[in-house]
Structure 1
């Protein structure tokens, strides 16, 4: 059975009237009820900010990893280049051998 807007409005009005009567009779329920509504919101906000901070930290760590990888590539390239400079190429050796004959 579907509720009509009039039925929904009447039910909500009746519920609000009961809540107001309850709070009038027991005013200490106001801070307790407010606290019960604030706790999940506070947990959600805290989780959101913590998630953002961790996401930012992850990006920083990924960038550090990329930088370290680039440094390693540069070290290997410079080591290979210096190694090639110390030893003559095969083409150069063959030219020397052929020039002596």
Structure 2
């Protein structure tokens, strides 16, 4: 649960970076962010930006669907092995964002 809460400022920063209002639920914000990031194409933004955008969206959607929804709605409690896997996924996502975003 704490890792999911730690992602909220990252989601807000990502949303603001693509001109999406971050003050909505995760799914709505993520849908709008995905639309904006998918528009980042090689021809207009370059291959590195396109790759970064694709990776960021994929990671955040996977984290949300696999762990965030279940943890934040009290559906499941995770054990130590799960916590390590979630931590590593969140860490990788944050490192991906840090390549392009600042506070």
Give the TM-score normalised by the residue count of structure 1: 0.26
Point out the structure with max Rg over C-alpha.
Answer: 1
Q: Which has the higher contact order (CA 8 A, sep 6+)?
A: 2
Higher helix share: 1
